[in-house]
Amino acid sequence: MAARLLPGPFTVDSYHRLAELGILDEDDRVELLDGQIVEMTPIGGQHAACVIRLNNLLARRSHRDTVVSMQNPVVLAERWEPQPDIAVLRRAGGYGGAWLPGPQDVLLVIEVADTSLERDRDVKIPRYAAAGIPEAWLVDLAGDAISVCREPGPDGYREIVTVSRHETLRPFLQPGLEVGVDEILG
């Protein structure tokens, strides 16, 4: 678990105010989890390569009315603004202007884990479910597998299936899109 940087709890608004005041900088690798500002783990080569592969695969294969957001914040609730590795977004009003996506904009969220597996699995994935995000993938680089989580609810995802190499993923809300597990894991 990442170390707490400042005593909280903070709301998303007060978290953003810290940036406006210069206490936090856009280059700080932090996110807001349950009102706590936590440092994100460093990105290693295997993690970075996987996120780049996912971004490339999903951007090329997704529908025109979606966009792939890479390592940007998603506001889930008053005290939750994680930065998932990948979020596939659809926004009815278009992408113009200043905005941060919320759960209603997210079709699929993906966390890539090498050293962050416990935090991603035990903290972030359940929170995505509680926020109503319809599908989450947890790419376990050390385990060489991907957990596909669907049917969100307040107590987590009701359906969790682990897939491994030589299998194909089909995002629930993106009909016709197929991604091989081998393509993601490299």
Residue-range domain boundaries for the chain: 41-185
Query: CATH topology for 41-185?
Result: tt1808, chain A (3.90.1570)
- Tens digit of each residue's pLDDT (9 = 90 or more) over 44-69: 999 999 999 999 999 999 887 899 99
Q: How far is CA 85 from the centre of its chain?
A: 5
Q: Name the percent of the chain lying above pLDDT 90.
A: 79
Q: What is the mean pLDDT of residues 72-89?
A: 97
pTM of the model: 0.93
Check residue 175 and give its pLDDT. Answer: 86
Nearest to residue 33, comparing CAs of 116, 138, 143? Answer: 116
Q: Please, what is the average pLDDT of the chain?
A: 92
Check residue 3 and give its pLDDT. Answer: 45
- Tens digit of each residue's pLDDT (9 = 90 or more) over 36-46: 999 998 899 99
Separation of alpha carbons 33 and 42, rounded Å: 17
Nearest to residue 89, comparing CAs of 100, 78, 77? Answer: 100
Nearest to residue 139, comparing CAs of 80, 52, 76, 79? Answer: 52
